[in-house]
């Protein structure tokens, strides 16, 4: 993996985690 690919994967995972947390928060309200 190149450095740019690694950064892309990190951003992708961060966005997926943020989305998952938002869904969980909405479900518990």
Determine contact, residues 13/5, Cβ cutoff 8 Å: no
Q: d(Cα 25, Cα 10) in Å, to the nearest integer?
A: 22
Q: d(Cα 27, Cα 29) in Å, to the nearest integer?
A: 6
So what's the pLDDT on residue 24? Answer: 93
Q: d(Cα 2, Cα 12) in Å, to the nearest integer?
A: 15
Q: Residues 6 or more apart from 1 whose CB is under 8 A from it?
A: 9
29: tokens are 């309200």
The model's pTM is 0.60
So what's the pLDDT on residue 14? Answer: 97
So what's the pLDDT on residue 29? Answer: 75
Question: Which single residue is written with the structure tokens 């992708």?
Answer: 12
Residue range 1-29, pLDDT digits in tens:
899 999 999 999 999 999 999 999 999 87
């Amino acid at each position: 993996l190149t450095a740019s690919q690694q950064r892309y994967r990190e951003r992708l995972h961060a966005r997926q985690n943020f989305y998952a947390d938002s869904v969980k928060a909405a479900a518990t309200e």
